[in-house]
Amino acid sequence: MARAVIIFCLALIHVTIECSTDEGLCSGIPYLFDTVIGGPFSAPMYMFVMGVGMCYTRKNSPLEHFVRGAKILAVGYILNICRFLIPYSIGYAITGDYGYYIEPLLYKVPGNDILIFAGLAMMIMALFVKLKLSNIVMLIIATVMCGFGTLLNGVDVGTPLENIFLGYLIGTEDAAGMVLSDFPILNWLMFPICGYAFASVLKRVKDKNLFYLTFSLPALIIAIVYFTFGIYFERGMFGEGQNCYYHMIFSDVLASLCLTVGMVGVYHFIVKIIPKKLFYIAWSISENITPIYFTHWVLVSFVVNLWMYVIRGTTILTSWQIVGIGTVISIAAIVIAHFFAKLTGRRKVHEKTP
């Protein structure tokens, strides 16, 4: 259920980012989608749920985890080609606008993104499973890594490619603000590892209703207090600039984990009251999370950065236009991914998940 909600919001989040001014992102609907829904309610939950899935899947050998991670990593690079190199090359051929289309490609095509991080994280966790590390040891390693990641945020080694590839590990940036060092491993590995450990405990819990009431409600309260403080004082991930989120500090990670545990509990109880047909729709959507993510980004790039920019000379839209286009792209991506899965005969084992 959590994955289905995240997936549907993806296009709304990314169209908001692509079609709003920097000033526009600071308030109203754009702020809601960019900073709140697109912040702690998005990638942290996505990565936490990935860790949960790694624990619950029947294909759980270290090799199977590693191969799955390698495939996700490859898809991440293919996505960068499809959403950046191809549409930007077409846009440049049509407009000759070097500054908009060609100059950013050095940073965008090899730049880190959630799929690249997810693939690397799954491969690292496969190694941990292979070494038979306990959940406690994995959590200690992730905590130490996150601490170092917080301390090393903002490193600039002087050259674009070095910043980009070092940015897979720590939060790098340059004076021009061009480096895409999103989701560095040191800062973000905590989420899938905590998801894995959480699921390991949850599998042994008999009364899940009591479990979620006991842990999710306090966690949700802690998160609400922390994020209210952060939003009001513009601190932590709610500070100025996108790297405040992508280079998340340790306290933000802990608060996001509290929010995730709280929301997983909320979704647990929602599933109990919604019609079964709606649940199976959400389940079907969540099974196609990677194809939907891939498809929605390609659609966003071609619609916004190619079609819209070529025709209008700008990508800026009103808030309600953003909501409309984002909703249409979300639905289109879900439908396309669904039919792609049917055409390719892709089948998944329906595991019992929380």
CA distances from 51 to 48, 56, 221 (A): 5, 9, 23
Structural domain harbouring 340: 1-38+286-354
Last residue of a domain, one of 217, 246, 273: 273
Instruction: Tell whether the model's pLDDT for residue 252 goes beyond 60.
Output: yes
On the question of pLDDT at 284 being above 50, the answer is yes
pLDDT of residue 179: 78
In a shared domain, residues 196 and 98: yes
Minimum mean pLDDT range among 28-37, 216-225, 344-353 = 344-353
What residues contact residue 337 under an 8 Å CB cut-off, 6+ apart? 288, 291, 292, 294, 295
pTM of the complete model: 0.94
Residue range 94-114: average pLDDT?
Answer: 95
Q: What is the pLDDT of residue 349?
A: 42
Regarding whether 327 and 290 lie in a shared domain, the answer is yes
**Cα 133-136-140 angle, rounded to 5 deg:** 95
Do 148 and 102 share a structural domain?
Answer: yes
Contact between 37 and 5 under an 8 Å Cβ cutoff? The reply is no
Tokens of 320: 């309600």
| 213 and 254 both lie in a single domain | yes
Supply the DSSP symbol for 318: -
Percent of the chain exceeding pLDDT 90 equals 84
How many domains does the chain fold into? Answer: 2
296 pLDDT tier (thresholds 50, 70, 90): very high
Spatial CB neighbours of 119, under 8 Å, sequence gap ≥ 6: 69, 70, 71, 72, 73, 74, 75, 76
The residues, ordered by sequence, that sit 6+ positions from 259 with a Cβ below 8 Å of its Cβ are 40, 41, 44, 45, 219, 220, 223, 227
Hunting for tokens 């600071």 — which residue is that? 26
Asked whether residue 14 falls in the same domain as residue 158, the answer is no
- 223 and 260 together in one domain: yes
Q: Are residues 269 and 307 in the same domain?
A: no
Is 213 inside a domain boundary? yes
Identify whether 53 is part of a domain.
Answer: no
d(CA 230, CA 81): 36
* 278 part of a folded domain: no
Please, which pLDDT band fits residue 346 given cuts at 50, 70 and 90? low
Does 46 fall in a domain? Answer: no
CB 191, CB 259: distance < 8 Å: no
> Is 281 part of a structural domain of the chain?
no
Whether residue 216 is found in the same domain as residue 297 = no
Question: 51 lies in a domain?
Answer: no
Q: Which of 273, 299, 316 is the last residue of a domain?
A: 273
Name the token pair of 109: 């095509």
The span from the CA of 242 to the CA of 240, in Å, is: 7
**Domain end: 273, 300, 318, which one?**
273
Looking at the fold, whether 173 and 126 belong to one and the same domain comes out as yes
Quote the pLDDT of residue 238: 95
Residues 264 and 236 in one domain: yes
Confidence of residue 46 (pLDDT cuts 50, 70, 90): very high
What's the pLDDT at 350?
Answer: 43
176 within domain boundaries:
yes
> Do 119 and 73 touch, CB atoms closer than 8 A?
yes
Confidence of residue 273 (pLDDT cuts 50, 70, 90): very high
- Same domain as 169, residue 30: no
**What string of DSSP letters covers 285-307?**
HHHTHHHHHHHHHHHHIIIIIII
Instruction: Determine, yes or no, domain membership for 45.
Output: no
Same domain, 214 and 319: no
